[in-house]
Amino acid sequence: MNESVAHAMNDNVISVEGVEKVYGYGHSALRVLKGVSLTIRRGEILSIVGPSGAGKSTLLNLVGCLDSFQGGRISILGRDVTGLSVEDLSSFRNRHMGFIFQLHNLLPEFTALENVMMPLFIRRTARREARARALEVIARFGMEDRAHHKPSELSGGESQRIAVARAIVGGPDIILADEPTGSLDRENSRRLTQILFDLGREHNTTIVVVTHDREIAAMTERTITLVDGNIVS
Ligand SMILES: Nc1ncnc2c1ncn2[C@@H]1O[C@H](COP(=O)(O)OP(=O)(O)OP(=O)(O)O)[C@@H](O)[C@H]1O
Ligand SMILES: [Mg+2]
């Protein structure tokens, strides 16, 4: 490995410093993150585990620039995202991040293929190229036959595969996944996660996955445990 590759692999892609998140105000204020610090390197595959309500999704959403926070600092790819405008944030997300959520993943009125093409449409990739790239990723998930079906005509597992394909199609620097296989059986869950991680390793993508599944956590290089708004290990 040459020096520049080694350097690129060691740089911090995600840096969270003393972040505090409070939902609500006054009497009903709920401190959900109590000064969380975390750095994640390029190409690292990391899992976040911890009990329900610990703040895992909250932390993931902050890293994904999807929500505001009260204290601390977050930089993504060396850029302090705290001061970015809504427009800058959404184009930053589109260029650098892929998201996978457990529910409400796909747009129901579009086919599987169109759903996967969506991140490329948003950044104005030519239709022909977007289609070719989307079909290529769909093939990696063995979903060619289902590409022209709408989400309502797909099984839960197929929908999840399409959602993962959509997160990865734009070649993001970072993929953020919140219980991406929560509704799948063990075998499908393991298989889908394996394809995601393999694709991530091929492209040196940083992957952060929130999971309750020990098997999936064990497939990642590092696991952090969040309890009651603090990282405990
Ligand atoms: N928009 C919101 N407004 C107020 N409270 C919220 C909001 N979102 C989450 N919370 C609360 O913040 C706490 C942390 O929620 P979060 O979704 O981050 O937990 P989690 O660790 O992802 O849990 P789970 O494993 O159940 O998904 C919970 O007590 C939750 O009820
Ligand atoms: Mg959650």
pLDDT the model gives residue 9? 46
Q: Quick one: which of 200, 114, 187 has its CA closest to 157? A: 187
If the chain, 233 residues long, is cut into consecutive pieces of 10 residues, what is the mean pLDDT of each piece? 48 94 92 96 97 95 93 94 87 93 83 96 94 96 95 90 93 94 87 93 95 95 96 90
Substitution site in 23, 47, 49 for ligand 1 pocket (most atoms within 8 Å of beta carbon): 23
- How many angstroms is it from 114 CA to the middle of ligand 2? 27
Return the pLDDT at 32.
Answer: 96
State the distance from the centre of ligand 2 to the C-alpha of 126, rounded, in angstroms: 36
Q: Compute, in degrees rounded to 10, the torsion defined by CA atoms 23, 67, 159, 49.
A: -60
Confidence at residue 132, expressed as pLDDT on a 0 to 100 scale:
97
pLDDT at 1: 46
Q: Which domains does the chain have, with CATH numbers?
A: 42-66+83-231 (3.40.50.300)
pLDDT attached to residue 104 = 61
How much is the pTM? 0.91
Could you tell me the two tokens for 39?
A: 């750095």
Instruction: Dump strand ranges (E) for the chain.
Output: 12-23, 30-41, 45-49, 71-76, 79-80, 97-100, 174-178, 206-210, 222-227, 230-231
Q: Give the phi and the psi of residue 206 in degrees, each rounded to 5.
A: -80, 130
Gap from CA of 54 to ligand 1 centroid (Å)? 7
